[in-house]
Amino acid sequence: MDRDSSTPLGSILVTGATGKVGRRLVAELLRNGHRVAIVTRSSDAAQTLWPGPGPEIRTADLTAPSTLASACDGIDTLFHLASYSPRPDEPDIYEAPSHWPVTAEGTANLMAQVAQSEIRRVIYLSSIKAMGDRAGALGRPADESVVPAPDSLYGRAKLAAERSVLDLGRTTGRQTAVLRLPMVYGLGDGGNIPRMVKAVAAGRFPPWPRIENHRAAIHVEDAVAAAILVAGHPETAGEIYLVTDGRAYSTRWIYEQTLIALGRSLPRWTVPPGALRAAAAVGTLGERLTGRRMPLTLDGLGKLTGDAWFSSTKLERDLGFRPRWTLETEIPALVRTLAAGPGDNT
């Protein structure tokens, strides 16, 4: 099946448009000739991102329902990406208190406004965190049949937001669908993969133990393509889709691929797992004492050594989704970008 929309999307509204994924979605929609509006709390920030011809900017705040009164006017399709974004130095980012009022309550506020509008379809970009970390650690790729059991405030807020979106569809007959994303790459300097590549390049990432964990990921352009694909198919109403690039990556594999891309040989030794746990325990204590994020904590080590393994078979089977990108090509591209320096985006 074609990746392009099979039914017209009409006029489009995007929330979270100033985020890294939202920007790519808006750019793709504009490139394809769609009429796009965005909702943002700061019109100045949006105008900086789109100084010339770009989306219509509508100022509103999801946590202030009165500001949403006209946000949905004249819109056919809503892509909802808005959520709370913790500061880079904020500790325990998945437990940040603002996740609930922004992501959970803010989505409920928005859906209440959508119910009074002419919007016909709502596509919500959520996270695998809505399923809980145990969902991705079953020893096999998890699918949409796994019962969600989020174990962080972030995950609980995402799940609550999903339910607000899907409840709107059930009660009003609108096309509503949810996409759950794993780790997203292709975001330039942003995200876990670029941080790891930079650390390896700078010699700050230790020779990683040969632990064969499995982590799902998706390139931002494939995530955007999946969202547009789902929006264009009315049969996706009420559905939840996991979106991955079809691969499972281990931290060791990423480490090795980075060294190969850098032209360096693989070290003959690895750091003992016990030493990593000790360092992570020190980092966790330091984070609690200082209130600032540390390079390695027990939670971070769990992500580097554990599984977050998910399958997008349902999306591939139902809509013919085929990802175009993998980390096998992304890591060398990141290394080339590092070599070129910050002033060269080629």
Question: Residue 209: is it exposed, middle or buried by C-beta count within 10 angstroms (0-12/13-18/19+)?
Answer: middle
Using DSSP's 3-state secondary structure scheme, residue 175 falls into strand
* Cα distance between residue 240 and residue 322, in whole Å: 17
Task: Report pLDDT for 6.
Answer: 67
Task: Report pLDDT for 2.
Answer: 45
Task: Report pLDDT for 341.
Answer: 63
In order of 179, 215, 226, 288, the CA distances from 315 in angstroms are 10, 18, 8, 41
- Per-residue tens of pLDDT for the chain, all 346 residues: 444 446 899 999 999 999 999 999 999 999 999 999 999 988 888 888 887 788 999 999 999 999 998 999 999 999 999 999 888 777 788 999 999 999 999 999 999 999 999 999 999 999 999 999 999 999 999 999 999 999 999 999 999 999 999 999 999 999 999 999 999 999 987 788 998 999 999 999 999 999 999 999 999 999 999 999 999 999 999 999 999 999 999 999 999 999 999 999 999 999 999 999 999 999 999 988 888 888 889 888 888 999 999 999 999 999 999 999 999 999 999 999 887 665 444 3
Q: Is 25 left (phi over 0), alpha (psi -120 to 50) or beta?
A: alpha
Q: Which of 132, 235, 138 minimizes the C-alpha distance to 180?
A: 132
- Contact, 247 vs 282, CB < 8 A? no
Which stretches within 173-319 are classed as H helix?
192-201, 220-231, 251-262, 273-290, 298-305, 313-319
- Contact, 310 vs 249, CB < 8 A? no
Tell me the CATH class for 12-182+218-244+311-323. Answer: alpha beta
Question: Residue 9: is it exposed, middle or buried by C-beta count within 10 angstroms (0-12/13-18/19+)?
Answer: buried
48 Cβ neighbours under 8 A, 6+ residues apart: none
67 Cβ neighbours under 8 A, 6+ residues apart: 59, 60, 61
Domain boundaries, the chain: 12-182+218-244+311-323
* Cα distance between residue 128 and residue 148, in whole Å: 9
* Cα distance between residue 99 and residue 156, in whole Å: 9
